[in-house]
Structure 1
């Protein structure tokens, strides 16, 4: 006997988005993969008469309207396992409803390093490929093995390799195709046995917990000394957590959706002009010859760090993070976002793109 599809009922979603925006919508919870075929049949039978579907993970990258036109499917699938082991990698699979940070910590506890730079990023495993999350010199697609997802329009399950996911900076096929098409159920990661630390970012490289990590003995020559001072995966994990806790507000204490704007990527000529005009501008050359700019620095220089507009504002320690001081609605968030974008464009001639998805 096939499983029944999840049942939708009107629910409060304020606790389901880390910005703490008030909202109500029809919500169903998916706890069992076996219910997905029946869900696809129900969606096909409903056709255009039914409200469109929005797949919700941890709600950490979301701006939600008070009465969205969508039905919301909350993904609560659980499970982590070593799916395969090769000569060079551990292939680890996690269900979409697992906490991302919890998954990273679990891998480390099992001796499977490689994701520690992405520690403490809020949200779920299933949402991570949608946004192609990244931090401190590591992008998710650099560790991805495959994504198992249902195409809810076509009604079938697919396993997509990284080159089939359309990954770009904080973007993917799953995001571009719009809400309601893809339901990610499991994600697999190829974690390297020959692990080396990623310490490209100055904040991480200069962290006190990583300087001189391992304690060089001075014996055995330069190669031995370099090996002795290489930090462990746990030390990198702890340093990333420490940096994020110091720089970023905890959504449980001060409602926010993390980085609200993407770091803009411009051509090299524009970056050179800006660098000459603003020598302190933080830039990051990209493989394609373009240059990524630090959005937080641009926002801070435009005067928005710690500044409020009604119940919302940009955080006092990290200008890239939009926070809800209490009582905000989606319109307040978008009004502040428009004001910040306008001031950054006026000062630098650079456009900012919003990172969180809008559930309208």
Structure 2
């Protein structure tokens, strides 16, 4: 097969397709709306021996150079109830559905389970890749299965929750199967009569301030949105990818050593280890609000690196590296980017 599918464009500037607003050119670009289009595009890429990268909402990627391959934006939509009983339902959603819009759809319907994940940027298909989470809830708590296409063969495969090997901001699709499958749809198990017991401190405090003692899922969603909007910049106004780094997880021994020097260090249990907020570490190193040309650290949230206008990918990445170095020097902790670095 040598003919280029109609959906593929050449020499495409992707500034509008990544929330950091980085101007970079992809050799080929395709926006696919159906499984058939996806299979055509994959066949072309295999025939041309092209490297590929799959874009969702473009909210979890930093381009540090032009991309000499095929960028595929998944735009496969659709929502359907697969199964239901008196208490639960299984909702199947296309990978191209906007995640926040899917959450709002479920809140409108009164279906509980993902309201804590309101306003997380990106697509539904990208959500399982890093097992998105916020305010005490992670995707794997409601996840049932996903359908994916194997890039090398075009074969369809269903992955169970166990097969996805979810971890903290992690899954098999970030590790052994990275780049080998493209997610087409996701199935979630939602509650028809949700029992609301928020445990995340910032959320319970915000609800208490509003005088809400028995919150509904709409209360939870609205409050999460308010908190996120107060802390995180809107990518449509200022380029960013949300949290740039993962919250590091360290051993209890390392934590106790640090706690002696920094008694106020915030921390959370993470199995047999301890999770430390990356934002606190970065803030302690004096980065919050710093700006270098058009690349900077947000003045309200140290975990967010921003593009004030015309920063380049390498400028953003250089700033990220400097932050990593200073946190390593001060605390002996290695920060890992949550975003994918491409180029």
Q: TM-score, normalised by structure 1?
A: 0.89
Structure 2 unaligned residues grouped into runs of 5+: none
C-alpha distance in structure 2 between counterparts of 1:247 and 1:40, whole Å:
39
Alignment equivalent of 1:245, drawn from 212, 219, 229: 229
For 1:67-87, what per-residue CA distance to the aligned partner results, in whole angstroms no more than 9, with x for missing partners?
Answer: 112210111111111121145
1:121 alignment partner in structure 2: 120
Q: How far apart are residue 44 of structure 1 and its match?
A: 3.4
Q: How many residues align?
A: 338
SS, match of residue 195 in structure 2: coil
Q: How far apart are residue 281 of structure 1 and its match?
A: 0.9
Structure 1 unaligned residues grouped into runs of 5+: 214-228
C-alpha distance in structure 2 between counterparts of 1:200 and 1:159, whole Å:
33
What pairs up with 1:202-213 in 2 under 5 angstroms? 202-208=201-207, 212-213=211-212
1:174 alignment partner in structure 2: 173
2:303 alignment partner in structure 1: 320
- Contact 2:8 / 2:41 at 8 angstroms: preserved in 1? no
Q: How far apart are residue 334 of structure 1 and its match?
A: 1.1
Alignment equivalent of 1:311, drawn from 294, 297, 305: 294
- Contact 2:64 / 2:317 at 8 angstroms: preserved in 1? no
C-alpha distance in structure 1 between counterparts of 2:30 and 2:197, whole Å:
40
Runs of 4+ residues over 6 Å off in structure 1 = none
1:157 alignment partner in structure 2: 156
- Contact 1:5 / 1:39 at 8 angstroms: preserved in 2? no
Q: How far apart are residue 166 of structure 1 and its match?
A: 2.1
1:9 matched to 2:10: yes
Relative to 1, partners in 2 of residues 1:263 and 1:198: Cα closer, same or farther, differing over 3 Å?
farther
- Contact 1:118 / 1:136 at 8 angstroms: preserved in 2? yes
C-alpha distance in structure 2 between counterparts of 1:271 and 1:87, whole Å:
46
C-alpha distance in structure 2 between counterparts of 1:198 and 1:77, whole Å:
34
What pairs up with 1:84-123 in 2 under 5 angstroms? 84-123=83-122
Q: How far apart are residue 178 of structure 1 and its match?
A: 6.5
Q: TM-score, normalised by structure 2?
A: 0.94
For 1:207-263, what per-residue CA distance to the aligned partner results, in whole angstroms no more than 9, with x for missing partners?
Answer: 0467542xxxxxxxxxxxxxxx32110000000000000011001111101000100
Determine which structure has more spread, i.e. the larger CA radius of gyration.
1
Alignment equivalent of 2:279, drawn from 271, 293, 296: 296
What RMSD in Å do the two structures reach over aligned CA positions?
Answer: 1.7
For 1:329-358, what per-residue CA distance to the aligned partner results, in whole angstroms no more than 9, with x for missing partners?
Answer: 111111111111111111111110011101
